[in-house]
Structure 1
Amino acid sequence: MKIIAEVFKLPSGSPIPQFYGLRDDGSIDRAVTDTLLDLISESRPEELQKLDALLTLAQSGSYRPPNAELPDWSANDKNIWLTAPRANIGVIVVSNENIPELASGDGQPKQFSISEAKGAIHHWLQFLQKLSSSGAGNLIGQRFEASV
């Protein structure tokens, strides 16, 4: 999975960080972007570190959810399930409840490996460090790519 973090300049002139996934043909992968990557980019770094620790527990097989029917993590109507019955070992399921085709009810939430999710978190956190040290205005148009 190819992911991009970059700063765009809005018509108003304001810089805005973006995080999105690309398909092999170079088009934006809306399902990846609208689920996992939006959840990551809309979360604070401290929360992402907690999510990363939770993913590590799930990866080791030692995570036991308090209620397997409820999401294990949520941010801005994006939900993550780490265990059965929604997710299999080594896989997470991410929904976006604001997009019917990606919602947990009648839609088809997106599956990711735990390694992909952890890689995306780490890429975004590194990008945020770069933003902090360089300033968003100085990064406009620079693409920070990763394959996870």
Structure 2
Amino acid sequence: MKIVTEIFRMPTGSLISLLYAVSDEGQVDQAVTGTLCEFVSLLYPPADAEFEDLLTHVRAGTYQSANPLLADFGVNDVNVWCATRNQKDECIFISNENIPDYSIDHGPLQQFSIQEFHAVLACWKKFQQKIRENGAERYIGQKFETVIP
């Protein structure tokens, strides 16, 4: 899988940053894009530090969900459940309530390793840093691709 970041000019002239996943077959992976990439793109301070703190507790084995039916973390309508050591390998499950196929009510939760989350987050942060340093205009038409194992 590849993670792609780019700047897109809207018909109105506005510039937006995009973060999406591309499968090995070269198609946009809607499941990864609509869940993991969407979650990462919404994770602004202080939510990013709060989520990292939660992951620290998950890895240490000190986190226990108060109610497994409720998400452990959420940003807008993107929700995350953390699997702890006693459940299975440490991973996160993500739903996007704005996309029926990936919502808790209509579709399966999408599962990702914590390493995959951190890899996508690193791509996004690196791209956002480039934009802050050089401006978004400079990157129109350029795609930055990172292979995620």
Q: TM-score, normalised by structure 1?
A: 0.88
Structure 1 residue runs of 5 or longer lacking an equivalent are none
Task: Write the mapping of 1:126-141 to structure 2, written as runs, cut at 5 A.
Answer: 126-141=126-141
Q: Is residue 45–residue 125 contact of structure 1 (8 Å, CA) maintained in 2?
A: no
Query: SS at 1:104's partner residue?
Result: coil
2:23 equivalent in structure 1 = 23
Which residue number corresponds to residue 4 of structure 1?
4
Q: Secondary structure at the match of 2:59?
A: helix
**What is the alpha-carbon distance in structure 2 between the residues aligned to residue 146 and residue 109 of structure 1?**
24
Secondary structure of the corresponding residue to residue 105 of structure 1: coil
**Whole-angstrom distance in 2 between the partners of 1:95 and 1:74:** 9
How many angstroms apart in 1 are the aligned matches of 2:63 and 2:42? Answer: 24
Cα offset for 1:45?
Answer: 4.0
Partner of 1:111: 111
C-alpha offsets along residues 77-129 of structure 1, whole Å, 9 cap, x if unaligned? 11100026xx7322211001122211112311211111001111122111111
Question: Which 5+ residue runs of structure 2 have no aligned equivalent?
Answer: none
Aligned equivalent of 2:120: 120
Any conservation in 2 of the 1:91–1:113 contact (CA below 8 Å)?
Answer: yes
Q: How does 1:39-50 map to 2 (within 5 A)?
A: 39-50=39-50
After superposition, the Cα gap between the structure-2 partners of 1:35 and 1:10, relative to the gap in structure 1 and judged at 3 Å, is same
Structure 1 residue aligned with 2:82: 82
How far residue 55 of structure 1 moved from its aligned partner, in angstroms, is 2.2
Q: CA RMSD of the aligned region, Å?
A: 1.8
State the AA in 1 paired with 2:12.
S
Looking at structure 2, the residues matched to 27 and 60 of structure 1 have their Cα atoms a distance apart, in angstroms, of 37
Q: Distance in 2 between matches of 1:54 and 1:131?
A: 28
The amino acid across from 1:36 in the alignment is L
TM-score, normalised to structure 2, is 0.88
